[in-house]
Amino acid sequence: RKTVSLKREGKYGGGKEAFTELAKEYGDIFSIKLGASQCLVVNNLELIREVLNQNGKFFGGRPDFERFHKLFAGDRNNSLALCDWSNLQLRRRNLARRHCGPKQHTDNFSRIGSVATFESIELVQTLKQISRSTESAINLKPLLMSTAMNMFSHYMCNIRFDDDDVEFRKIVDHFDEIFWEINQGYAVDFLPWLSPFYKKHMDKLSNWSQEIRSFILSRIVEQREMNLDTEGPEKDFLDGLLRVLHDDPTVDRNTIIFMLEDFLGGHSSVGNLVMLCLAAVARDAEVGKKIRSEIEGVTKGKRAISLLDRPNLPYTEATVLEVLRYASSPIVPHVATENAEVSGFGVEKGTVVFINNYELNTSEKYWNEPEKFDPSRFLERTKVRVRRNSQCDSGMESDGERRGPIDKTTEIEKEVVAVKKNIPHFLPFSIGKRTCIGQTLVTTMSFVMFANIMQEFDVGAEHLEDLRQKPACVALPKDTFNLYVVPRKH
């Protein structure tokens, strides 16, 4: 296995881009030393699966990202994504999965859909109002971010906030700034001796997170705690969390508050993802045309789009997946908790193992023309059996009376276009014991928001070059490009 020196390569401090470049150069698996950490970078499907399948036993740890400690009151176990594997983590994941990763056809899944449509309708109305007062391109991102936050708080805590609530907007901005930060993958994350140079910056992050926490406590949690109903079915995720706190004296209140904060914070990924989808449409008019004609065929422009429409809008769903493909991270970090092996190579306990999803998603080994933005790569034609009701004339009955038409149900085979399920090399949310718990929320809510905007507006931009998607990053800076959002006539 090759050992690569970032210093020699001149790639120190280059963040995530360094990993994507190195993978192209050094192939399937190589080692690097980052500060005191020995790291292994894994860039090939078989090896990635080998690591993730051993997640439970050997690779369930996370590196110690000092830079983020302050955000979690100094205790990394308070973070769901950055903590090591433990029984507490297993319990937290199970509780979160029930609410935030529900299976299709459950009540929680359909509630995600109805909340997402409700909030999308609110957004469409706001955008229509704005477009009546200006013909210029608008700063759309903050509106998407507050819509996403309302989707999350409405679904998880049965509470939503007005757009003119200044405190709410400030918190949504803070979340967005932090989301941008954690997506950068700075050298300081592995080289703590660089921290003094980042002090001002870290203090800013810490202040933002304290303001977020006091908002969540005062505007969401405390009211519910006063009226907590411990009987009957759980109303929502917040109910589930507070009941654990009520019933189990070993659970710390901070654990619960940080968990809620982590999950509410997930809204930033949805807002950013939808913004990237709209940028893709503004870049490529053909993509927009296909989405609109698909939507028009389903709703005829007469109603809002719901989650139930998703199977009939495969190209629209595929556009979200195509954006995700290009946005996947090259540095999903795991840590070997025991001495282990990958592909016969020894991996010492404590080694950081980076799963390079970006390489997986952009390699010619797995995709045709990977550089091209082409949602149709996620589509396939499949045959389905459908029941068809047809009326047919019963003709003359034996008693000589004519009874008129009767209903007959027949089954026919029909060819439909659908989104490909389970592409083995497409793992944007990873697999295994530490797989993303928010994937259902992301894929459902971003689809509903994106589709409803597309149904109601033409989207464009003045400077197309501003819209180029930065590789391997789902985050956009808080202040980013403006877009034209022009109401469509149905």
Please state at what angle helix 107-133 crosses helix 141-157, rounded to 10 degrees: 150
Q: Which member of 148, 220, 353, 474 binds ligand HEM (CB under 6 A)?
A: 474
CA distances from 143 to 32, 162, 357 (A): 41, 11, 30
Total residues interacting with ligand HEM, rule: CB under 6 A: 24
- Interaction of residue 442 with ligand HEM, rule CB under 6 A: yes
Q: What sign results for the dihedral spanned by CA atoms 362, 320, 15, 433? A: negative
CA 2 vs CA 7, 77, 263: distances in Å: 15, 33, 38
CB 388 to ligand HEM: min, Å: 39
263 counts as binding ligand HEM under rule CB under 6 A: yes
Q: Report how far residue 126's alpha carbon sits from residue 163's, in angstroms, rounded to the nearest whole number.
A: 9
Minimum distance between the CB of residue 389 and ligand HEM, rounded to whole angstroms?
41
* Beta bridge pairs of residue 433: none
Contact set for ligand HEM, span 88-117 (CB under 6 A): 89, 93, 100
Ranges within 268-297 binding ligand HEM (CB under 6 A): 269, 273
By CB under 6 A, tell whether 435 contacts ligand HEM.
yes
CA end-to-end span of the chain: 59
Q: Is 438 in the site for ligand HEM (CB under 6 A)?
A: yes
- Closest by CA position to 430, among listed 10, 59, 19: 59
Region binding ligand HEM by CB under 6 A among candidate stretches 116-124, 361-369, 437-445, 475-483: 437-445
Least CB distance from residue 441 to ligand HEM, whole Å? 5
Tokens describing residue 467: 């819209």
- Is there binding between residue 241 and ligand HEM (CB under 6 A)? no
Distances (CA, A) of 411 to 179, 254, 311, 383, 385: 50, 56, 20, 13, 6
* Beta carbons of 334 and 51 less than 8 angstroms apart: yes
Q: Is 441 in the site for ligand HEM (CB under 6 A)?
A: yes
Q: CA-to-CA distance for 323 and 305, rounded, in angstroms?
A: 20
Q: In whole angstroms, how close is the CB of 88 to ligand HEM at the nearest point?
A: 11
Nearer to ligand HEM, 318 or 442 (CB): 442
- Answer yes or no: are the C-beta atoms of 443 and 277 closer than 8 Å: no
430 binds ligand HEM (CB under 6 A): yes
Q: Build a one-symbol-per-residue string for 243-262: x at contacts with ligand HEM by CB under 6 A, - elsewhere.
A: -------------------x
Tell me which stretch binds ligand HEM (CB under 6 A): 186-194, 250-258, 372-380, 423-431: 423-431
Q: Is 81 in the site for ligand HEM (CB under 6 A)?
A: yes
Q: How far is the CB of 380 from ligand HEM (least distance, A)?
A: 23
The three-state secondary structure class of 391 is strand
Residue 33's identity, in one-letter code, is K
Tell how strand 2-4 and strand 457-460 pair up: unpaired
Among 281, 332, 342, 476, binds ligand HEM (CB under 6 A): 332
| Least Cβ distance, residue 427 to ligand HEM (angstroms) | 8
- Residues of this chain that interact with ligand HEM (CB under 6 A) are 80-81, 89, 93, 100, 262-263, 266, 269, 273, 332, 334, 428-430, 432, 434-438, 441-442, 474
